[in-house]
């Protein structure tokens, strides 16, 4: 893939500049990709519900002129989002209200989710947070202290998972401060970061960030979120190898999405490409039933079929666990 001068210039900018230059307008993205949208009024209506946001680093991996591109499908507002799909609602995992209260989500033994920011660098159309008022999750300093106090008071918590939104959208000062505070809590053994930034904005993996993560006295584990091998461009590969050199174990979780990765070849290729880039497949999630994402649903039967196909073609360690989230369960549920 050859890059235009404009792209080369863009990718030499800081991650913050690249982020602020992300596509947020339908016509700008379509112009860049050489696409025309058939049903523009519906696309605009879908966009009103959940606004388009795509960094150029991700958009550059979309095939020009291909309306069925698997990366495009993850980010482009479409008429299907307005359709009614039974069982799909606004808060399918039912815990966002709880998060907003104290910034900690403690559902599983030994692990808590700590939510620091409500925003992401990209807006994924299938996301379970798509209908949630992001800004309300933004934690005040006071709430963050309350969250840290909660973690410090419970010695059964051995792992803190920074989630969001995207925790790597915190700036280096905020992140370093947060890690410092977590490291002072003696019962915490590991700090895990769930982020899509190494994929969609790899420029975020700066020397300074690596120094902060590598300087942590407790091991830092990274879980990225990549759904298709085409997302792993050379900038992403560089980000992964730098994380690896810093001693940070990186796993991937993907969501099984119709029209994106719902065939065995695509899923196997994703696992292979991840491994080549020093990332281990972790989870393959069934879609959360969020309103507006019904057109991404893959049936459980088909998911199991795909899982079996992967098992027959790949070494066991490259087959992600097929899981789903069930309200009230003690862990993610293996789909069997
Ligand atoms: C997914 C999740 C975790 C992490 O689960 P693992 O199986 O350890 O990856 C922890 N807490 C909450 C609330 C979660 O939703
Ligand atoms: S939380 Fe993850 S899936 Fe949802 S919009 Fe952000 S990056 Fe995309």
Are 181 and 291 part of one and the same domain? yes
- Residue 117 burial (CB count, 10 A): 19
Q: Tell me, yes or no, whether 8 and 131 share the same domain.
A: no
Whole-number Å distance, alpha carbon 93 to ligand 2 midpoint, is: 14
Does residue 149 share a domain with residue 31? no
pTM for the complete prediction? 0.96
- Residues 126, 184 within the same domain: yes
- DSSP for residue 18: H
Cα separations in angstroms, 79 against 24, 95, 182, 258, 281: 18, 28, 44, 16, 32
Per-residue model confidence (pLDDT) at position 103: 85
CATH number at 213 reads: 3.20.20.70
Q: What span, in angstroms and rounded, lies between the C-alpha atoms of 28 and 190?
A: 42
What is the residue range of 7's domain?
Answer: 3-82
Indicate the residue among 51, 82, 113 that finishes a domain.
82
Pairing of strands 190-194, 280-285: unpaired
* Total domain count, the chain: 2
Q: How many Å is the maximal CA-CA distance in the chain?
A: 57
Residue 234 is assigned to a structural domain of this protein:
yes
Q: pLDDT digit string (tens) for 182-214? A: 999 999 999 999 999 999 999 999 999 999 999
Does one domain contain both 119 and 227? Answer: yes
Distance (Å, whole) CA 304 – CA 299:
9
101 and 35 in a common domain? no
To test the pocket of ligand 2, the residue of 132, 166, 231 to mutate (highest count of ligand atoms within 8 Å of its CB) is 166
> Which residue among 99, 105, 332, 334 has the greatest number of ligand 1 atoms within 8 angstroms of its CB, and so is best to mutate?
332
pLDDT tens digits, 13-71: 999 999 999 999 999 999 999 999 989 999 999 999 999 999 999 999 999 999 999 99
Please provide the distance, in angstroms rounded to a whole number, between the alpha carbons at the two ends of the chain: 40
Would the pLDDT of 6 be above 90?
Answer: no
Whether residues 169 and 242 fall in one domain: yes
CB 10 within 8 A of CB 54: no
Same-domain check for residues 21 and 43 = yes
**Mean pLDDT throughout 237-258?**
97
Joined tokens for residue 250: 């990186």
Which of the four pLDDT bands, split at 50, 70 and 90, describes residue 281? very high
pLDDT tier at 134, thresholds 50, 70, 90: low
Cα-flanking dihedrals φ and ψ of residue 100, to 5°?
Answer: -60, -30
Q: Does 135 score more than 70 pLDDT?
A: no
pLDDT of 92 higher than 90? no
Look over the chain and give the mean of its residue pLDDT values, rounded to a whole number. 94
Inside any domain, residue 87:
no
Q: Which residues, in sequence order, are CB contacts of 61 under 8 Å at separation 6+?
A: 1, 71, 230, 231, 233
pLDDT band at 2 (very low <50, low <70, confident <90, very high): low
- Where is the domain boundary, 18, 49, 82? 82
CA distances from 201 to 25, 41, 240, 296 (A): 18, 30, 12, 24
Of the residues 22, 50, 82, the one at which a domain ends: 82
Residue among 238, 311, 309, 308 at smallest CA distance from 279: 238
Residue 17 CB neighbours (<10 A):
11
Find the angle CA(105)-CA(109)-CA(115) to the nearest 5 degrees: 20
- Mean pLDDT of all residues in 79-93: 90
DSSP state of 135: G
- Report phi then psi at 309, rounded to 5: -60, -40
* Ranges of H-type helices in the chain: 5-11, 15-20, 26-33, 40-49, 56-59, 70-75, 96-102, 141-153, 172-183, 197-200, 207-214, 234-245, 264-276, 300-313
Centroid of ligand 2 to alpha carbon of 186 (angstroms): 31
131: CA distance to ligand 2 center in Å? Answer: 12
Same domain, 17 and 130: no
State if residue 137 touches ligand 2 by the CB under 6 angstroms criterion.
Answer: no
Q: Is any ligand 1 atom within 6 A of the Cβ of residue 321? A: no
Kindly indicate the confidence band of residue 11, based on its pLDDT and cuts at 50, 70 and 90. very high
Which residues, including other chains, have CB under 8 Å from residue 224's CB and lie 6 or more apart?
A: 195, 196, 198, 199, 250, 251, 252, 253, 279
pLDDT at 238: 98
């Amino acid at each position: 893939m050859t890059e235009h001068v404009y792209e080369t210039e863009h990718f030499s900018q800081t991650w913050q500049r690249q982020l602020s230059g992300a596509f947020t307008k339908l016509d700008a993205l379509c112009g860049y990709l050489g696409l025309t949208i058939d049903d523009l009024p519906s696309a605009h209506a879908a966009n009103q519900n959940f606004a388009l946001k795509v960094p150029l680093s991700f958009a550059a991996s979309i095939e020009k002129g291909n309306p069925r591109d698997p990366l495009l499908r993850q980010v482009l507002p479409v008429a299907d989002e307005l359709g009614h799909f039974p069982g799909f609602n606004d808060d399918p995992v039912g815990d966002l209200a709880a998060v907003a209260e104290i910034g900690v989500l403690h559902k599983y033994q030994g692990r808590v989710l700590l939510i620091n920011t409500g925003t992401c660098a990209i807006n994924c159309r299938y996301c379970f947070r798509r209908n949630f008022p992001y800004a309300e999750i933004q934690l005040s300093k006071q709430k963050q202290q309350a969250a840290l106090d909660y973690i410090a008071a419970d010695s059964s918590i051995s792992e803190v998972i920074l989630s969001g939104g995207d925790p790597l959208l915190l700036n280096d000062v905020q992140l370093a401060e947060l890690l410092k505070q977590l490291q002072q809590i003696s019962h915490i053994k590991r700090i895990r970061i769930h982020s899509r930034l190494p994929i969609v904005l790899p420029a975020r993996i700066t020397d300074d960030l690596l120094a902060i993560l590598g300087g942590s006295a407790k091991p830092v584990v990274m879980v990225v979120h990549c759904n298709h091998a085409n997302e792993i461009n050379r900038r992403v590969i560089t980000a992964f190898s730098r994380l690896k050199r810093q001693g940070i174990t990186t796993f991937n979780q993907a969501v099984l999405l119709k029209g994106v990765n719902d065939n065995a070849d695509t899923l196997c290729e994703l696992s292979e490409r991840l491994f080549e880039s020093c990332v281990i497949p972790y989870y393959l999630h069934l879609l959360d039933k969020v309103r507006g994402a019904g057109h991404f649903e893959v049936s459980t039967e088909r998911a199991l079929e795909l899982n079996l196909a992967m098992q027959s073609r790949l070494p066991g360690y490259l087959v992600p666990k097929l899981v789903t989230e069930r309200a009230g369960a003690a862990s993610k549920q293996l789909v069997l």
